[in-house]
Amino acid sequence: MRIATWNVNSVGARLPRLLAWLETAAPDVLCLQELKCTTEAFPLAEVSALGYEVAAYGLGRWNGVAILSKVGIENVQRGLTDEPTYEDAVESRAIGATCGGVRVWSVYVPNGRDVEHDHYAYKLRWLEALRGTVVAESNDEPFAVLGDFNIAPSDEDVWDIGKFAESTHVTEPERKALAMLRDAGLTDVIPRPLKYDRPFTYWDYRALAFPNNNGMRIDLVYANGKFASAVTDAYVDRNERKGKGASDHAPVVVDLTGA
């Protein structure tokens, strides 16, 4: 089984590239983030024509997550257990489903903006709710949380840690939240190095970040033991970040056996 995650940074703007990638990469399950559309506006007909069932969750022009599957979609849950609000509103940042016997969550963790911003405190509360959901769903089936975590797990996961200082994405509280997921039984299943030394997944559109490989590894796959033990290969599809009309994130792909 091939399971992937991709922050497409607008499914509408990226639809031609998404459809082409689904045909060439052929994931059985794809977790999407940053749809930037409502559930009703998701391009269901186009994706379904390629053989995918879709569970989408979008509440407006920002955020939005989805799971695409060729192996069935069951037990769909939109939103986390005890998920916090931001400015008194729920945001569409998490969706879970069971696909072919594997429980997956597509998550778009809040950015945090600035360590002094209310959004940063919201991010930490949101991550605590994610941990609670992981604990509540723990069982013997293969389980993984995939998506844009907006956290670089270590200093090696940013192109120059000196450029970040106390910026979001690299602070101790954010990394502690990832450690709490590990304490809950999950592990980062993407090995380093992969097919190149620094497997970044995100590069800013500005300042020639992608050509200079000034990136970050913030798109992650955190999985339980049964999922992790079935992983046979994993890669970041860096080529999908190239060219006109690309997302600022690249897809992350994991191949499993026996799942």
Annotated binding site for Mg(2+): 7, 34, 148, 150, 248-249
Please enumerate in sequence order all residues whose Cβ is within 8 A of that of 41, keeping only pairs 6 or more positions apart, or say none.
Answer: 12, 58
Contacts of 87 (CB under 8 A, 6+ apart): 118
C-alpha 47/C-alpha 67 separation (Å) is: 11
- Selected catalytic residue, list 52, 57, 108, 122: 108
Q: Identify whether 28 is a catalytic site residue.
A: no
Least Cα distance to 190 among 231, 149, 151, 161 occurs for 231
Positive or negative, the Cα torsion across 24, 27, 31, 35?
positive
| Catalytic site includes residue 117 | no
Output phi, psi for 167, to 5 deg: -70, 160
Inter-residue contact 243 to 228 (CB < 8 Å) = no
Helices (H) and strands (E) in the chain, counts: 5, 14
Catalytic pick among 28, 148, 157, 219: 148
Choose the catalytic residue: 28, 122, 169, 249: 249
Residue 249 annotated to the active site: yes
DSSP string, 202-239: EE-SSTTTTTTT-EE--EEEEE-HHHHTTEEEEEE-GG
User: Three-class SS of residue 122?
Assistant: helix
Catalytic residue numbers, as ranges: 108, 148, 249
